Amino acid sequence: MHAASEKAAEAVQAVQIAAAMARAVELSQNGPAWGVNPQVGCVILGPDGSILAEGWHRGSGTPHAEQDALSRLASPALARGATVVVTLEPCNHRGRTGPCSEALVAAGVGEVYFGVDDPGVESAGGARRLDAAGVPVQGGIAANDVEQSIRPWLTAVRAGRPHVTLKWASSLDGRAAAADGSSRWITGPDARLDVHARRSRVDAIVVGTGTVLTDDPALTARGADGDPFAHQPVPVVIGLRGAPLDRAVWQHPERVREYRTHDVAAVLADLFAAGVRSVYVEGGPTLASAFIEADLVDELVVYLAPALLGGPILALGDLGVASIGEARRLSITSIDLLDADVRIVAHPAPVRVPPTIATTMKETDSVHRNH
């Protein structure tokens, strides 16, 4: 009976921790999606599984989620022996705030559960610090959900470059503009509002000089009323030609970053060094194709209008694909209707490498020996 009771208690705790992690992921989304810091949520549970406090990270220079949650306890004494559930491994370095691992140890918490390992070179190691201090710690809780909630930040830190979202709008037959170059507006108001909402969640918006010359975009993020969002992405212009000073982009509230190059990888490296962790590439076709050909696209957001244009102005240019076997395959994340338009969100599909003859022979030999 004692063993059965222990198993029942463990099952109940597992449910409580899973529920707390789901809540922590939800809380994390209250923080800014842009910037060098990730969105993190934290829930502190009492001995009976009840929520004692919640917290989330509100941006660079503010308390991290664990410290925010600890500060919201009715009494500091409640932390002793409590269970801490946090989306990202507690950090282990001193930046503008102290290490969360040290704060948890000092508070006397009983155990810590987290979703995903911190990939940062300087900030990782919190789990080891907690374990060394005698605090039981377990990672991998609802890891897939946490990964999706902060995927841009994780991608950036792991790859050492900003997460890249590539967007374009086209007619159903893949044209970015009519034969005379006109493109306003291919899609309707709902699609355009969705674009602005996505702009407001990234660090930078990237276009080519050709787009600046042809469309004269402001590159700001605006709401349905036309007013700008509080956060504005940094405007980035790539191309050998400079953007004329009479273009709207120069009126942007953030400083324009111009790169007189076609080397998009070098641009991303420089942006990452400047603290940019996510970029939204809006074109045009030449720039979009350059990012795809360089394998530097993490997500695609494509808006398709129910219209046919024909003509030579395609949404993408040459990608170096000579045959169907070289096609760049995608995995579709979602397909949604925005009024009359279709929004498709996708990401590059993992490359499947056919097994070599040597690998096949080795596997066959292993099967034979095991039987």
Summarize the annotated binding site for Zn(2+) as residue ranges.
64, 91, 100
In the chain, the amino acid numbered 174 is: G
List the structure tokens of 269: 């490296």
3-state secondary structure string across the chain = CHHHHHHHHHHHHHHHHHHHHHHHHHHHCCCCCCCCCCCCEEEEECCCCCEEEEEECCCCCCCCHHHHHHHCCCCHHHHCCCEEEEEECCCCCCCCCCCHHHHHHHHCCCEEEEEECCCCCCCCCHHHHHHHCCCCEECCCCHHHHHHHCHHHHHHHHHCCCEEEEEEEEECCCECCCCCCCCCCCCCHHHHHHHHHHHCCCCEEEEEHHHHHHHCCCCCCECCCCCECCCCCEEEEECCCCCCCCCHHHHCCCCCEEECCCCHHHHHHHHHHCCCCEEEEEECHHHHHHHHHCCCCCEEEEEEECCCCCCCCECCCCCCCCCHHHCCCEEEEEEEEECCEEEEEEEECCCCCCCCHHHHHHHHHHHHHHC
Binding-site residue numbers for substrate are: 183, 219, 222, 282
Binding-site residue numbers for NADP(+) are: 169, 185, 199, 211, 215, 284-290
Pairing verdict, β 83-88 and 111-116: parallel
Residues in the chain: 371
Cis bond upstream, residue 250 (ω within 30) = no
Annotated catalytic, 66? yes
* Catalytic entry in 10, 26, 66, 293: 66
CA distances from 286 to 278, 300, 328 (A): 20, 16, 17
Instruction: Count CB-CB contacts under 10 A for residue 179.
Output: 11
Q: Are 118 and 95 in contact (CB under 8 A)?
A: no
Binding-site residue numbers are: 64, 91, 100, 169, 183, 185, 199, 211, 215, 219, 222, 282, 284-290
Q: So which residues are the catalytic ones?
A: 66
